[in-house]
Amino acid sequence: MNKIGLAIALAVAAVVGVVFGVFPKLDLDLAALFYQPNTDMLRIGGEPWVEHVRDAARVLIGLIAAPAGLAVVGKLILPRRRMLIPGRAALFLLLTLALGPGILANTILKDHWGRFRPFYLTEFGGTDGPFTAWWDPRGTCRGNCSFVAGEPSGAFWTLAPAALAPPQWRPLAYGAAVAFGAAIGVVRMAGAGHFFTDVVFAGVLMFLLIWTLHGLICRWPSTRLTDKAVEHALAWPADALRKLAALARRIGGRAGKRF
């Protein structure tokens, strides 16, 4: 999560944004590669293995995030035990997953950016509405729309655990995360679920959010946290509840003696 990565992400956003903004039909041309006009069928989108790939990707993302979730839950239940993984890493992984794919992609953008998915368009046999460029949120799609791509956002989220890899393995981890996101993006494009720009900007936005949170939590001296501070913050609610429960038992015991 250094400035070189930030520069690359911003450059990709600028180039793709300008080119596909000036020539929006490129999105349609790329989507058409997966379409058979004579049969109104997708080339591979309807194949059973596509759904298997999507399911496997969801499981993989869940398995990657599971240790962080278990570490937080375990600390809340057993506040005096050490966390399964360092507190700062657990907080970083869960926050990026919740704010990135969860809120930014699937709640804020997909529910308010009215771009129809390719299979809804008249250009590909649909009946719901016309094509709109990536930058135009004024389409008539009412929810779960095309921009940005949700499942690729989750796949690109693996940039977060990649940022926590040992330094010698980090470039390989970043490459694997980008390849994973791109592969899921191609699968979604093949199923006429998303355009090329939906996938690219899913990756760019996930990187920018992860880069920012990594700086706030781990890198920047003015804001970065320590594992001890995170563990203390997680242990406090459990300790407070335990003290309240003990107080309630004492009050209940005194009341029972009076009667």
pLDDT, tens digit only, all 259 positions of the chain: 788 999 999 999 999 999 999 999 999 999 988 876 655 445 565 677 888 999 999 999 999 999 999 999 999 888 888 999 999 999 999 999 999 999 999 999 999 999 999 988 888 878 888 899 999 999 999 999 999 999 999 999 999 999 999 999 999 999 999 999 999 999 999 888 999 999 999 999 999 999 999 999 999 999 999 999 999 998 887 777 777 766 677 776 665 555 5
Q: Which residues of 72-94 are buried (b: 16+ CB within 10 A; e: fewer)?
A: bebbeeebeeebbbbbbbbbbbb
pLDDT at residue 250, rounded to an integer? 76
State the pLDDT at residue 256: 55
Q: Are 73 and 217 in contact (CB under 8 A)?
A: no
On whether the CB atoms of residues 42 and 34 are closer than 8 A, the answer is yes
Closest by Cα among 177, 187, 161, 142 to 65: 161
42 secondary structure, DSSP code: E
From first CA to last CA, the distance across the chain in angstroms is 65
Instruction: Supply the pTM of this predicted model.
Output: 0.90
Q: How far apart are CA 126 and CA 160, in angstroms?
A: 37
Position 257 scores a pLDDT of 59
